[in-house]
């Protein structure tokens, strides 16, 4: 088990096992300007969590955060449709990871 603490939607704290999640999409965070984000799906909680990292400082260190996010946030920030979110929830192992970093950088 690889535990990860995250902030829940109601402001509480919870723990998930990073070994049991699915990577969904990455790109810039809509919660923190300039930070990068990886959205994961946790089947245990049936929820989406944003793992985000700050830009590295001069020594290469960066801060990390994890926070549950809503379907609306995923639609607004990562352009995920209702059908895509349903597909993730019903068959997460079949999901094909989306790289939104390339779109954000214009490549």
CA distance 52 to 54: 7
Question: In this predicted model, which residue has the larger pLDDT, 60 or 23?
Answer: 23
CA distance 85 to 31: 20
Which residues make beta-bridge pairs with 69?
48
pLDDT number for residue 101: 83
**E strands, the chain, in order:** 3-7, 13-17, 22-28, 36-42, 47-53, 64-69, 98-99
Q: What does the pLDDT look like over 91-101, one tens digit per residue?
A: 999 999 999 88
pTM as predicted:
0.91
Query: Is pLDDT of 59 > 80?
Result: yes
pLDDT number for residue 42: 97
How sure is the predictor about 106, in pLDDT bands with cuts at 50, 70 and 90? low
């Amino acid at each position: 088990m690889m535990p990860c603490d995250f902030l829940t939607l109601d402001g509480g704290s919870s723990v998930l096992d990073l070994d049991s999640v699915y990577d969904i999409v990455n790109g810039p965070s809509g919660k923190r300007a300039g930070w990068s984000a990886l959205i994961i799906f946790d089947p245990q909680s049936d929820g989406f969590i944003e793992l985000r990292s700050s830009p590295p400082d001069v020594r290469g260190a960066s801060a990390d955060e994890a926070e549950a996010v809503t379907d609306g946030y995923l639609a607004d920030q990562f352009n995920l449709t209702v059908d895509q979110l349903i597909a993730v929830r019903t068959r997460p192992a079949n999901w094909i990871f989306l790289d939104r970093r390339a779109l954000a950088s214009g490549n």
